[in-house]
């Protein structure tokens, strides 16, 4: 498999393969390509150690020998064995790399995502296993970039918030009445108690988006979220929501569009981030249907990965490129079933997550 490199925000992924079979470009080719477990294993080895030097994930030593029958290595300094999956998102998984790679390919390239039921039918695992696999893949897709958008030399940044949750018109009458009563008791800054608040920013020059779950839409919460993602001196475009009204005091060039009168005024608009919200909600309503707030951040990671790595004129990625990029991010990430179900950690913003009690949606 030949590769000239994938340049995505200074990320360079270049792999060197010497395999006799043509590299896959479509889902059909990928399923046939990775159906050979030996080829799938070799593919994953090349991804993890592209220089060909296999190192122990525990001590980092290169002094080891390969046990071919068991697809594992024996580390001489540690006097212990290790597998390809140790230290990656695949650790402690009994599934072969052929199933993992098929799942990676499908979720990276399905515009509206793929449900656990569809994955379980496609690769022959249980629905519970498929659900766990998808969440582990989302953990691998997470972008941990620390640089900030914009800056005095950067392009404009759009900022906006949205609400994710049930449609009141489709609620059971008793639940709708309860939600309306709770809404009437809300303090200023807490809007839609039956919904979860998601905040996002979009850099127009980079054509990249970042989104996260936030606890409320108070001024302090929103302004801190903006400053955590946007550099000082940036030009920031928002709607006229009161939570953004003091951004100018934070050394930002802030311009506002009033959606009651207009949606676009020259370059001042939030249509880019609104497009991302549309894609996100289409995925949540059409494919995943019911997402708990406890897990929403991971669904955001999935949608951001596909959006930020879509094919553009400057960066014409294809399905294989997105797959290779996703597989290159599995190292050093771990998600256990206890963490996923909330048995070891508390929910991000909802105290009821993991306790068995009813959650907002």
Query: Could you state, in order of their start, the residue ranges of all structural domains in the chain?
Result: 23-36+92-141+293-361, 149-291
- Phi then psi for residue 192, to 5 deg, are 60, 75
**Mean pLDDT, the chain, whole residue set:** 84
pLDDT for 203 equals 94
Q: How far is CA 230 from CA 174, 200, 214, 336, in A?
A: 42, 11, 16, 32
What does the alpha-carbon distance between residue 124 and residue 102 come to, in Å, rounded to a whole number? Answer: 11
Query: pLDDT tens digits for 299-313?
Result: 999 999 999 999 888
* pLDDT at residue 175 in the model: 79
Residue that is written with structure tokens 């914009």 in the block: 150
Structure tokens at 61: 């030593």
Instruction: Using the predicted structure, report yes or no on whether residue 73 has a pLDDT greater than 90.
Output: yes
Q: Rounded to 5 degrees, what are φ and ψ at 331?
A: -70, 135
Task: Measure the CA angle with vertex 229, ends 224 and 230; round to 5°.
Answer: 95
Is the pLDDT at 10 greater than 50? The verdict is no
Q: 38 CB contacts (<8 Å, ≥6 apart)? A: none
Neighbours of 173 (CB within 10 A): 7
Contact 101, 133 (CB under 8 A): no
pLDDT at 24: 87
How far, in Å, CA of 56 to CA of 41, rounded? 17
Tokens for 204, please give them. 């127009």
Range of 145-159, 176-190, 337-351 with top mean pLDDT: 145-159
User: What percent of the chain stands above pLDDT 90?
Assistant: 58
Q: For position 126, what pLDDT does the model report?
A: 96
Is residue 220 within 8 Å of 209, Cβ to Cβ?
no
The span from the CA of 307 to the CA of 207, in Å, is 9
Structure tokens at 267: 């370059």
Q: Quick: pLDDT tens for 29-38.
A: 998 899 888 8
The average pLDDT across 342-346 equals: 61
Top-confidence residue, 93 or 151: 93
Interval 125-149 mean pLDDT: 94
Q: How far apart are CA 221 and CA 239, in angstroms?
A: 16
Q: Strand ranges (DSSP E) for the chain?
A: 6-8, 11-13, 64-67, 72-75, 80-83, 149-150, 157-164, 196-203, 208-214, 230-231, 235-239, 253-257
DSSP 170: G
Confidence of residue 171 (pLDDT cuts 50, 70, 90): confident
Residue 24 near residue 338, CB atoms below 8 Å: no
Residue 183 banded pLDDT, cuts 50, 70, 90: low
pLDDT at 357: 44
Query: Does the pLDDT at position 350 exceed 50?
Result: no
Q: What is the pLDDT of residue 5?
A: 39
Under CATH, which architecture does the 149-291 domain have? 2-Layer Sandwich (3.30)
Which H or E element spans position 253?
strand 253-257
Q: Kindly state the percentage of the chain with pLDDT values over 70.
A: 85
Given a cut of 80, whether residue 45 has pLDDT beyond it is: yes
The answer on pLDDT for 167 being more than 90 is no
Q: What is the mean pLDDT of residues 121-142?
A: 95
DSSP states of 174-232: HHHHHHHHHHHTPPTT---TTSEEEEEEEETTTTEEEEEEES---HHHHHHHHHHHEET
| pTM for the predicted model, two decimal places | 0.83
Give the per-residue pLDDT at 251: 83
Closest to 85 (Cα-Cα) out of 355, 330, 263: 330
CB-based contacts of 79: which residues, under 8 Å, 6+ apart? none
**Rounded (5°) CA angle 319-86-116:** 45
């Amino acid at each position: 498999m030949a590769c000239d490199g994938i340049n995505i925000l200074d990320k360079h992924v270049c792999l060197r393969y010497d395999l006799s079979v043509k590299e896959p470009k479509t889902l059909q080719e990928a399923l046939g390509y990775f159906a050979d477990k030996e080829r799938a294993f070799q593919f994953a080895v090349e991804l993890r150690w592209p220089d060909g030097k296999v190192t122990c994930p525990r001590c980092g030593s290169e002094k080891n020998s390969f046990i071919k029958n068991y697809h594992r290595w024996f580390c001489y300094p540690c006097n212990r064995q290790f597998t390809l999956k140790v230290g990656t998102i695949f650790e402690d998984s009994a599934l072969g790399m052929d199933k993992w790679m098929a799942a990676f390919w499908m979720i990276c390239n399905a515009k509206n995502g793929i449900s656990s039921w569809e994955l379980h039918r496609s690769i022959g695992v249980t629905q519970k296993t498929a659900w766990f696999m998808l969440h582990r893949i989302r953990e691998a897709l997470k972008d941990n970039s620390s640089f900030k958008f914009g800056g005095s030399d950067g392009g404009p940044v759009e900022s906006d918030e949205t609400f994710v949750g049930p449609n009141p018109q489709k609620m059971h009458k008793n639940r709708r009445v309860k939600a309306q009563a709770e809404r009437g008791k809300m303090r200023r800054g807490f809007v839609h108690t039956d919904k979860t608040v998601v905040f996002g920013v979009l850099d127009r020059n980079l054509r990249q988006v970042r989104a996260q779950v936030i606890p409320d839409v108070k001024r302090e919460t929103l302004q801190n979220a903006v400053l955590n993602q946007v550099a000082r001196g940036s030009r920031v475009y928002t709607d006229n929501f009161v939570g953004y009204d003091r951004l100018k005091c934070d050394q930002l060039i802030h311009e506002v569009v009033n959606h009651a009168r207009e949606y676009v005024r020259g370059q001042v608009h939030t249509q880019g981030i609104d497009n991302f919200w549309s894609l996100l909600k289409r995925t949540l309503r059409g494919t995943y249907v019911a997402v708990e707030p406890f897990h929403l951040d991971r669904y955001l990671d999935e949608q951001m990965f596909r959006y930020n790595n879509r094919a553009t004129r400057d960066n014409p990625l294809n399905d294989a490129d997105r797959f290779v990029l996703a597989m290159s991010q599995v190292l050093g990430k771990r998600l256990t079933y206890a963490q996923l179900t909330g048995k070891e950690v508390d929910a991000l913003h909802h105290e009821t997550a993991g306790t068995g009690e009813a959650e907002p949606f």
